[in-house]
Structure 1
Amino acid sequence: MNLSSRELVHVIRHLANALWEAKLKIVLVIPPAISAGTNQPGMFGKQDFEQLAPVVDAFSLMTYDFSNQHRPGPNSPIPWIQACVQTLDPDAVWRSKILLGLNFYGMDYGILGGTAEPIVGHR
């Protein structure tokens, strides 16, 4: 099923209202507002954020895994994270509802890219 942005916002609004009636909260996980490694807008932007901010308790912004095996580098560069937040809420009206997804691991990339492995405690 292919939902338009407007239909998806409508569904989330109804879901939020139902959860509020049940005395529950809604945290919506959203992709970055800027595609990693580009200046291109992501799948979820300012307009989507503004429409849902009044009815969603919090947004979990997926600001991790910026790099990949074809473009190794930092997991989440701070300027990119800031740009993602500022793109969604440039006037800081709803910024207190944004939860940053932070990675607590690193990735070990080969010299020529290729397969990446997480760097965990024993390494």
Structure 2
Amino acid sequence: MSYVGGHVPPHHHQAALPVRWRVPVQSHDDWAVLRIFRTPSGERTAVAFTSEALLAEVLGDGQASTTLSESRLRELIAPLGISLITVNPTLTVPQRDLRNRGAQSAQAAHRRPRRFDHDHVAA
């Protein structure tokens, strides 16, 4: 069963060896933070790529990543209340850049508490 280009159900079972995916992260000194995205409908999702080349094609050559199995990725996103994994998304919309807004809008946005900075993805 192939999930390339789509979403992986949270409880699917495969008899094959565990799949290893390239997963985008934000690097900070000696540690990394998993990047969380949103689907076009607004649902939070982890994204994974079946190759480094596909990750670079969608998110750019400079995107940091790590290799994770599906089970490990699910362990990381479960405490965040996320069960959706999008594999090989083909379209992304860049994060909103507050520098492109007026100074007042940027200051107001920084005063609002935010838990995550999300990107948007589509399968």
**TM-score in terms of structure 1 length:** 0.24
Greater share of strand? 2
Greater share of helix? 1
Ranked by relative contact order (alpha carbons within 8 Å, sequence separation 6 or more), the top structure is 2
Larger Rg: 1
**TM-score in terms of structure 2 length:** 0.24
